[in-house]
Amino acid sequence: MDFYRDIDQYADRTAVITEQGERLTYRQFLEDGDKLLQEIPARSVLFLICRNCLESVCAYIGALRKGVVPVMVNSGIDAQLYQQLYEAYHPSFVYAPRDWSQHEDLPVLGGYRGFVLRSTEWEQDYELNPELALLLTTSGSTGSPKLVRQSYTNITANACSIAEYLGILPEDRAITTMPMSYTYCLSIINSHLLRGASVIMNEYSVIQRQFWEIFRKLEPTTFGGVPFIYEQLKALRFGRMQLPSLRYITQAGGKLSKEMAEEFNGICQEKGIKLIVMYGQTEATARMSYLPWERAQEKAGSMGIAIPGGSFSLIDVDGKEITRPDTVGELIYTGQNVTLGYAQGYQDLSKGDENHGVLHTGDMAKRDEDGFYYIVGRKKRFLKMYGNRVNLDEVEGILKKQGYSCVCAGEDDRMRLYTTEKEESRQQEMKEFISRALNFTSRSFEVIYIEEIPRNEAGKVLYSALGSERKTIPAK
Amino acid sequence: MTNMEKYRNAFVKGLELPLEEVKSGLTYQGIENWDSVGHMGLIAELEEAFDIMFETEDIIDFSSFEKGIEILKKYDIAVEG
């Protein structure tokens, strides 16, 4: 019952549509992937340097079918971070765009269109757990080579749940709006292929003319977006656009503000587009909850209910289950899509299931009388940066290691670095350093000078005393 | 402040660039800071500086330093010099 095998049945339907409008049938697409993977023995580790294009998705599905374990790496990754990953996982094979800057000296084994497959200097001298299917960079990785270990069961289970609650039809065409190395985008690809639908592999951002040209030409029926994408759509006056092909859109990767949620609910209702708000984490493969669109108005601000096959519970500080409605506790998810655990390096790839189907999300939530869940805060100090979970304590650690005196706070998509470094050049340096280390544009960081870091008597940082000088994009 | 000064200033603030780097030849995705996040910042700064609201078409067409000057003409703003 593995979805990437079952999709053979869709033989002559269209699986992938390129930006140029080329259509590949399931038969062709699967054949191309299988052929590419012929060169690689099962149970090897493959670094798959992703762009949102046919070549990447073809190798991804091919790898799952062959039992090769891909590490999904965005082609835009910082060179130094990439080197760390490479050293930590000793992949035997790397598949990357021909014009990619790394590994030009490694021998070429094969290729597919604009991508080339190379063997590396590493001989695989470690075992892979038989259940291990896929390795994804975690949002909270903050510059460390930490990956999430996903199993074959995880991927199929989550894709099935998603296809079911979204009611994906074979006629649907999903256009990508996020990098496919990101779990949310990958889940859109998986769930659409599962149903014999098509995916339009698009590299452009919604603020580029090319995106809308492709949109008009290829008429996607759906896309997904993190809050930042919805902000861009708002600035582009999404409400005024004529997009008759659009049937439903999804939102995840962080919470929309109440005003944004209401505005988009209104626009979508008027246009007859279903807007489905969801919640998830890479640690749960992708999705854990969805808000049924019929209830979107009534339950605005809610992350909805557990996906089919999953369940939520809330626990108090003593780990006891909370049964009363409207009581805040840590959100716990149980389901087949809870991943095996983390890896810090190749040594961890033989490990089995460490989570046993239960995930402590780190989010604080409450449940209303109808069983709908609402995120109200976070147990640990982290921010969502463009859909990625970033632990602030870890960020402080990285900066400290680099010799900067600094504490971090902020809001989603906007991190503030409070520093006692007085020199402007040093502040600038710090900002550039952290922007590179975390791989977010330096515009997402604001450096604020403070005379001293406020601490209580026990030496704990008083984040509440940091104030909140804010620099926000003015409201439209 | 001249319109050109305002215009260049919006790049400085929106894209967080030093003033000397704001000049002809800058393109969307041509430099690290002018990515999709930077673009939204730049658009917001320009709208504020010139007290205008861009049309959708103009936001997605705003692909270079020169193109921006051309687009602003539609809003009766002459950026010269």
CB contact under 8 A, B41 and A443: yes
Contacts with B40 from chain A: Cβ below 8 Å: 207, 231-232, 235, 473
Structural domain that includes position A419:
383-466
Q: Which domains does chain B have, with CATH numbers?
A: 3-73 (1.10.1200.10)
Cβ atoms of B6 and B68 within 8 Å: the answer is: no
Mean pLDDT of B35-50: 93
Distance separating alpha carbons of residues A283 and A101, to the nearest angstrom: 30
Contacts with B36 from chain A: Cβ below 8 Å: 205-207, 228, 232
Residue-level pLDDT at A265: 93
Adjacency order of strands within the sheet including A341-343: A108-112, A115-119, A93-97, A45-50, A69-74, A132-137, A147-151, A341-343
Looking at the complex, report in whole angstroms how far the Cα of residue A29 sits from the nearest Cα belonging to chain B.
31
Distance separating alpha carbons of residues A200 and A182, to the nearest angstrom: 16
Q: Is A237 on the interface with B (CB under 8 A)?
A: yes
DSSP 8-state class, residue A51: -
Q: Is A211 on the interface with B (CB under 8 A)?
A: yes
Instruction: Cite the beta strand spans of A216-356 per DSSP E.
Output: 222-225, 248-251, 274-280, 287-290, 305-306, 311-315, 329-334, 341-343
Distance separating alpha carbons of residues A234 and A207, to the nearest angstrom: 11
The predicted-structure confidence for A206-261, as pLDDT tens digits, reads as follows: 999 999 999 999 999 999 999 999 999 998 999 999 999 999 999 999 988 888 98
Task: In chain B, count H helices and then E strands.
Answer: 4, 0
Distance separating alpha carbons of residues A430 and A434, to the nearest angstrom: 6
| Of A74, A111, A114, nearest in space to A93 by CA | A111
| Of A303, A168, A281, A277, nearest in space to A225 by CA | A277
Distance separating alpha carbons of residues B39 and B28, to the nearest angstrom: 8
Could you say which residues from 367 to 386 on chain A have a Cβ atom under 8 Å away from some Cβ of chain B? 386
Rg, C-alpha atoms of chain B: 11
Has residue B77 got a pLDDT over 60?
yes
The two tokens of residue A69 are: 């374990």
Instruction: Give me the CATH number covering residue A396.
Output: 3.30.300.30
From B37, B41, B56, residue closest to A236, measured CB to CB: B56
Looking at the complex, report in whole angstroms how far the Cα of residue A174 sits from the nearest Cα belonging to chain B.
21
CB contact under 8 A, B44 and A473: yes
Residue A391 domain-assigned (yes or no): yes
Residue A264 phi/psi, 5° resolution? -70, -35
Instruction: Give me the CATH number covering residue A353.
Output: 3.40.50.12780
Distance separating alpha carbons of residues A2 and B54, to the nearest angstrom: 48
Q: Are residues A454 and A321 in the same domain?
A: no
CB contact under 8 A, A211 and B60: yes
Residues facing residue A95 across a β-bridge: A48, A117
Q: Is B32 on the interface with A (CB under 8 A)?
A: yes
Angle ∠(A69,A183,A83) on CA atoms, nearest 5: 60
CB contact under 8 A, B59 and A476: no
The two tokens of residue A167 are: 């009611």
Q: Are residues A138 and A166 in the same domain?
A: yes
Give the three-class secondary structure for A274.
Answer: strand
| Of B45, B1, B42, B8, nearest in space to B24 by CA | B8
Cβ atoms of A3 and A192 within 8 Å: the answer is: no
pTM above the 0.80 mark? yes
Contacts with A386 from chain B: Cβ below 8 Å: 37
Q: Are residues A97 and A41 in the same domain?
A: yes
Q: Are residues A270 and A401 in the same domain?
A: no
H/E segment holding residue A360 = strand A358-367
Residue A107 domain-assigned (yes or no): yes
Residues facing residue A407 across a β-bridge: A418
Residue A472 domain-assigned (yes or no): no
CB contact under 8 A, A208 and B33: no
Q: Is A240 on the interface with B (CB under 8 A)?
A: yes
Boundary residue ending a domain (A315, A342, A376): A376
Spell out the residues 6+ positions from residue A50 whose beta carbon is closer than 8 angstroms to its own. A56, A60, A72, A73, A74, A75, A179, A180, A181
Distance separating alpha carbons of residues A133 and B66, to the nearest angstrom: 48
Q: Are residues A46 and A125 in the same domain?
A: yes
Contacts with A385 from chain B: Cβ below 8 Å: none
Residue-level pLDDT at A142: 57
Residue A63 domain-assigned (yes or no): yes
Residue A471 domain-assigned (yes or no): no
In order of A68, A110, A112, A118, A339, the CA distances from A105 in angstroms are: 23, 14, 19, 9, 35
Boundary residue ending a domain (A376, A409, A436): A376
Q: Print the SS3 string covering B19-57.
A: HHHCCCCCECCCCCCCCHHHHHHHHHHHHHHHCCCCCHH
Residues of chain A below pLDDT 50: 140, 469-476
Distance separating alpha carbons of residues A406 and A421, to the nearest angstrom: 8
Spell out the residues 6+ positions from residue B45 whose beta carbon is closer than 8 angstroms to its own. B9, B10, B11, B13, B14
Q: Are residues A289 and A390 in the same domain?
A: no
Residue A153 domain-assigned (yes or no): yes
| Of A58, A73, A51, nearest in space to A25 by CA | A58
Q: How is A383-418 classified by DSSP, letter by letter?
A: EEETTEEEEHHHHHHHHHHTT--EEEEEETTEEEEE
Distance separating alpha carbons of residues A31 and A12, to the nearest angstrom: 12
Q: Are residues A423 and A345 in the same domain?
A: no
Has residue B81 got a pLDDT over 90?
no
Contacts with B16 from chain A: Cβ below 8 Å: 442-443
Q: Are residues A56 and A140 in the same domain?
A: yes
Residue-level pLDDT at B3: 96
Could you say which residues from 381 to 410 on chain A have a Cβ atom under 8 Å away from some Cβ of chain B? 386
Residue of A nearest to B14 (CA): A443
Number of domains in chain A: 2
**Can you say whether the dihedral through the CA atoms of A435, A228, A54, B34 is positive or negative?**
negative
Residues facing residue A69 across a β-bridge: A45
Residue A395 domain-assigned (yes or no): yes
Residue A210 phi/psi, 5° resolution? -60, -35
| Of A433, A428, A416, A420, nearest in space to A469 by CA | A416
Q: Are residues A412 and A364 in the same domain?
A: no
Contacts with A241 from chain B: Cβ below 8 Å: 56
ipTM summary value: 0.81
Contacts with B53 from chain A: Cβ below 8 Å: 476
Distance separating alpha carbons of residues A396 and A408, to the nearest angstrom: 6
Residue A475 domain-assigned (yes or no): no
CB contact under 8 A, B32 and A441: yes
Boundary residue ending a domain (A326, A359, A376): A376
Looking at the complex, report in whole angstroms how far the Cα of residue A206 sits from the nearest Cα belonging to chain B.
8
CB contact under 8 A, A231 and B40: yes
Cβ atoms of A345 and A87 within 8 Å: the answer is: no
